[in-house]
Structure 1
Amino acid sequence: MITAYKMTLEDVLSFQQDMIYHSPQHKKSRKIWLTVMSIPAFLLGYLATTFILPRSESIVLFLLTVIGVGILFALLLRPLLKDLYAPFVLRQFRLVNKDSAWPTDITLQLSDTHIEMQAIRGNIHRTTQVPWTSILKVNENETHRFLYYEEDEALIIPKVKNGVTEVEQSEIERILDKHMNTEKHTSSR
């Protein structure tokens, strides 16, 4: 089966978002992000308390109060900081790839032995051929399927796209079900 469509920056961003929530690399990066961003949260609480609270006669009591409130701020803001990681990374990716030539013409060929994706962006022609046995996992969201053939590389197959008919979508689904022995992971994000 052969189908053609245009891949946009939004499709690639959808893949990046999937990577943010499922890759070990991003799990490590998120921990570093939380640690680094806890410092300004602590300083915010520390400075706010320093300027708002009246100074007591005991400097030790005042410092313990200010440090305690700083730690409390860092702990209370942790869920918000955790939620801000994905938009921050996606914004960075968008800024880096803003000037790339989008959309990219994609021709997807699903055969009995492999998947072949040909991408044409400007004067650059790229062909990726992946045997079915090399697919490590399949993640999907409402609009895309991601067939991972490496930890951080995947074939992006849109579920709904201009140029891909419903008949082609059902055929893609049938072929994927036939060949995939890996577990599908559905992402709600």
Structure 2
Amino acid sequence: MAKTSEAVAEGVSIASAAARLTVRNHILVETIAHDESFDAVHLATFAQETLVALAVEQEAAAALARKQRKNAWGRFTDPDGTHDYRDRDMRNLRRREKLHRRVAKELRNRAADPESVRLLVEQARNAAWGDVEANLERRLRVEGMRPDVDPDYDMMRGARMQALRLVDLPRLSAHRRKLAEGEALQAAALEAAQVAEPAGE
């Protein structure tokens, strides 16, 4: 039983990490990409739905293990592949089904528990803020870096100059050409309009 309990705890831990990642990504998209304010009530609902969706996945995996066990019963020939189970796999498939069902049950319990949902949202929010903080620090470090304190300045200078020649300058040249073409078209249109005015009078 101890091994089964450990396997269930590990399954719940993995599913919880997946839920935390999903809620964290949702926070980042809503608050940063869509410029929405942090809404704990909305996020609690989303967190509950995420836990239930993961429980449904576990229940589907349990149902598959049950089906595979039924198909394996009474088959004693050599298997044709990894998932071609035989009678000797019955015990393992029964245990797998049981594990999936217990993980699903625990996830549904957590989805129904307001404190567990609140903790999930809080952990996801902290993770999201950690991502934002790390990104800001990285950008400030890069933008505030001076050549005399950057240990990689000399090594990366050649790559930066090559990028300037091969990417930035051609892009700038193309942009200038477009602007010049646009100005020429505007001038031609203005001249055509001025020529057409006396004829209209």
Q: Please tell me the TM-score bracket, short chain as reference.
A: under 0.3
Q: TM-score, normalised by structure 1?
A: 0.27
Higher strand share: 1
Larger Rg: 2
Higher helix share: 2
Q: TM-score, normalised by structure 2?
A: 0.26
